[in-house]
Amino acid sequence: MILKKLPTGVQDILPRECRALASVREKLTRAFESRGYDPVLSAAVEYYDTYAGIRNALPQERMFKFTDQDGKLLVLRPDATLSISRIAATKLTEPEARLYYFLDKWDAQSAGGVRTREIFQAGIERLGEEGAFSDAQTIAFAIDCMHEAGLADCILDIGHVGFMKGLLEECGLTDAQAEEVRASLNAKDGLNAERLLRGSGAKEETLAAVRALPTLFGGKEVFAAARALTKNARALDAVAHLEEVRRILADMGYEDSICFDLGTGKSLSYYSGIVFSGLVREVGAPVLSGGRYDGLADDFGRHIPAVGFAIGLKRVLVALERQRNLPAQPVCDAAIACEEGCEGAAERLSKQFVSEGRRVTLAAQYGRDALAGMNAKEKWYVSKRGAERI
């Protein structure tokens, strides 16, 4: 029966996973607050045109759409960063802000494996900041947050969309054509990417550089390899920026937690500079994703340079489970049962324990037998003779 099923790509969160999710959220909240970030929560329902009528429009097939009572088309929040860019451009007056959030976004297309349609996220946005030091701080904090969530053996993969943009602008591609090439490369469809490039009149050295993108992965040695592929100023500036970010991160003690990937496949229109992904071996997709998106707020009437990241909380839980590092299920400190006529005394004892910071369960059945199936560090029975620990 359909009443017992859920649509593809969504799921119920059961008590054990809810408790693990709450534990991760509590740890991340402490991390965000301790570094001076303020909370924000965007509306879950927005107008379709907010996401479809802007320069950085999202594909309409990825949005859950429905109609308001006045006939206007609405969507469930499809993107957290765009939502917060709208808030920053239209409602915040400070030139700089550091914000954090816990929310869900909805992707009508993502489904299967760790890709879900309802995506629980935590994230931060650093608004009004520019430069390599801001980028390096954001990356360092992303690494800290993955560790704080309990993840082991995680690494941050870092790239820069300016390198690919620089290579592609040599071909005279429009933004739409460059994005199509990027999408083909990301889908490992090198043949289609090369077809598009040849159709635009790309030179052989440009084609060779694009073919080499998947090899530009590793440590600082990729910078020399990247510089050898092109003389494009934009691409070389991207390499220089990455070198400066690496220098700062090394000085901050994070060099062992980073690698570089100049063939990264993130959107060339959405992102404006550095991009990065948090990876763990146990999950076949990033648990964290972020980058610089200096042009997003422009769509809402105000230029605000920005950098940030989002953490996929469901993927974090999958990784923690596979690393056997899920938070332990709590055991009650005390279980209490009573005989009939002693309900008030049992309730007062439970409140006393609660006031001491203990977790307490009060049985709904009378008699000592009610304690038999209860898992607790202490078991108490209240009778007319008083309370006794058994």
Nearest-CA neighbor of 265 among 173, 170, 190, 174? 190
Last residue of a domain, one of 322, 340, 364: 322
d(CA 35, CA 99): 10
The answer as to whether 2 is a domain residue is no
State the amino acid at position 238 in one-letter form.
Answer: A
**C-alpha dist (Å) from residue 153 to 139, 217, 322:** 16, 18, 12
Do 230 and 351 share a domain, yes or no? no
pLDDT of residue 207: 82
Encode the chain (390 residues) as per-residue pLDDT tens digits: 567 888 888 889 898 899 999 999 999 999 999 999 999 999 999 999 888 878 877 888 889 999 999 999 999 999 999 999 999 999 999 999 999 999 999 998 866 666 789 999 999 999 999 999 999 999 999 999 999 999 999 999 999 999 988 888 777 777 777 778 887 877 767 778 888 888 777 788 888 888 888 889 999 999 999 999 999 999 999 999 999 999 999 999 999 999 999 987 677 678 999 999 999 999 989 999 999 999 999 989 999 999 999 999 999 999 999 999 888 888 999 999 999 999 999 999 999 999 999 999 999 999 999 999 899 999 999 999 999 999
Domain co-membership, 204 together with 353: no
Q: Is residue 1 part of a domain?
A: no
Does some domain include residue 72?
yes
CB distance 60 to 121 below 8 Å: no
Tell me the residue range of the domain where 342 lies. 332-389
211 and 305 inside one domain: yes
Q: Domain check: are 375 and 275 in the same one?
A: no
Structure-token pair, residue 370 = 């009610």
The answer as to whether 113 is a domain residue is: yes
Residues 237 and 91 in one domain: yes
Lateral strand order in the sheet of 155-160? 38-39, 97-106, 118-127, 306-312, 288-292, 274-279, 155-160, 258-261, 217-218
Backbone angles phi, psi at 229, to 5 degrees: -90, -20
| CATH at residue 32 | 3.30.930.10
Tell me which amino acid residue 48 is.
Answer: Y
pLDDT for 175 equals 72
- Looking at the structure, tell me whether residues 65 and 117 fall in a common domain: yes
What is the Cα–Cα distance from 144 to 34, expressed in whole angstroms? 12
Tell whether 341 and 274 lie within a shared domain: no
pTM of the predicted structure, to 2 decimals? 0.90
The one-letter code for the residue type at 362 is L
Largest CA distance in the chain: 94
Q: Residue 296: its pLDDT value, please? A: 92
How much is the pLDDT for 57?
Answer: 77
Q: Is residue 78 part of a domain?
A: yes
**Which of 298, 322, 346 marks a domain boundary?**
322
In a domain, 297, yes or no: yes
103 with 225, same domain?
yes
3-state secondary structure the chain: CHHHCCCCCCCCCCHHHHHHHHHHHHHHHHHHHHCCCEECCCCCEEEHHHHHCCCCCCCHHHCCEEECCCCCEEEECCCHHHHHHHHHHHHCCCCCEEEEEEEEEECCCCCECCECCEEEEEEEEEECCCCHHHHHHHHHHHHHHHHHCCCCCCEEEEEEHHHHHHHHHCCCCCHHHHHHHHHHHHCCCHHHHHHHHHHCCCCHHHHHHHHHHHHCEECCHHHHHHHCCCCCHHHHHHHHHHHHHHHHHHHHCCHHHEEEECCCCCCCCCCCCEEEEEECCCCCCCCEEEEECCCCHHHHCCCCCEEEEEEEHHHHHHHHHHCCCCCCCCCEEEEEEECCCCHHHHHHHHHHHHHCCCCEEEEEEECHHHHCCCCEEEEEEEECCEEEEC
**pLDDT for the residue numbered 112:** 63
CA dihedral of 82, 88, 91, 96, whole degrees rounded to 10: 170
Q: What is the CATH number of the domain that holds 349?
A: 3.40.50
- Termini Cα distance of the chain: 47
Q: Which residues contact 148 (CB under 8 A, 6 or more apart)?
A: 27, 28, 30, 31
Domain check: are 221 and 257 in the same one? yes
Residues 134, 138, 139, 143: is their CA dihedral positive or negative?
Answer: positive
The domain boundary residue, chosen from 322, 350, 381: 322
Domains contained in the chain, number: 2
232 shares a domain with 296: yes
Query: What is the rounded distance in angstroms from the CA atom of residue 256 to the CA atom of residue 270?
Result: 29
Sign of the CA dihedral with 201 first, then 205, 209, and 212 last: positive
- Say how far apart CA 17 and CA 311 lie, in whole Å: 17
Residues 293 and 345 in one domain: no
Query: Which phi and psi angles does 292 have, rounded to 5°?
Result: -100, 135
In a domain, 76, yes or no: yes
Cα 341 from Cα 151, distance rounded (Å): 50
Indicate if 31 and 168 belong to the same structural domain.
Answer: yes
